[in-house]
């Protein structure tokens, strides 16, 4: 487990050099990932989401850093909490169905998610700063 950050950082540095990726908007990408996961978890039995690659692509976009310091688990937890707490519609014509997309999009645009994402990014920055120099990304 102690080797994971080293391997991850080494992979990121290699990827950055090969693909010349300089700036990733982690806040936006993490928010997009949570939106994707919220809908995926909200529509658990829908085959559309079983075949969708979006969450894996977001992992690639963030250069695998979602796995650093437990960020992916935190993001998944936020998405799961939101998806699990979407209440069925109280309108009789809606037959108890849920407005999953609407609720996930509202959450995506919320100040609450914005604050949570900023906190995760801040925690990651602190953890990265405290890594031994040899484990940090090459500049």
DSSP per-residue string spanning 27-58: HHHHHHHHHHHHHHHHTTT-HHHHS--HHHHH
The number of domains in the chain is: 1
- What's the pLDDT at 66? 74
For 80, the 3-state DSSP assignment is helix
Mean pLDDT of 99-126: 93
Residue 102 domain-assigned (yes or no): yes
The residue range of the domain holding 28 is 8-112
The pTM assigned to this predicted structure is 0.74
pLDDT at residue 1 tops 50: no
Q: Is residue 138 part of a domain?
A: no
Average pLDDT over residues 41-64: 80
Residue 128 lies in a domain: no
């Amino acid at each position: 487990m102690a080797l994971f950050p080293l391997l991850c950082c080494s992979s990121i540095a290699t990827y950055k050099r090969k693909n010349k990726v300089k700036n990733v908007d982690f806040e936006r990408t993490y928010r997009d990932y949570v939106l994707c996961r919220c809908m995926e978890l909200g529509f658990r039995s829908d085959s559309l989401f079983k075949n969708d690659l979006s969450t894996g692509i977001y992992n690639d976009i963030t250069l695998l850093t979602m796995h650093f310091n437990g960020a992916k688990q935190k993001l998944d937890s936020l998405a799961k909490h939101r998806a699990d707490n979407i209440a069925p519609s109280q309108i009789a014509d809606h037959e108890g169905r849920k407005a999953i997309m609407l609720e996930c999009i509202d959450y995506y645009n919320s100040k609450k998610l914005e604050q949570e994402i900023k906190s995760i990014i801040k925690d990651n920055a602190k953890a990265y700063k405290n890594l031994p120099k040899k484990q940090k990304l090459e500049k």
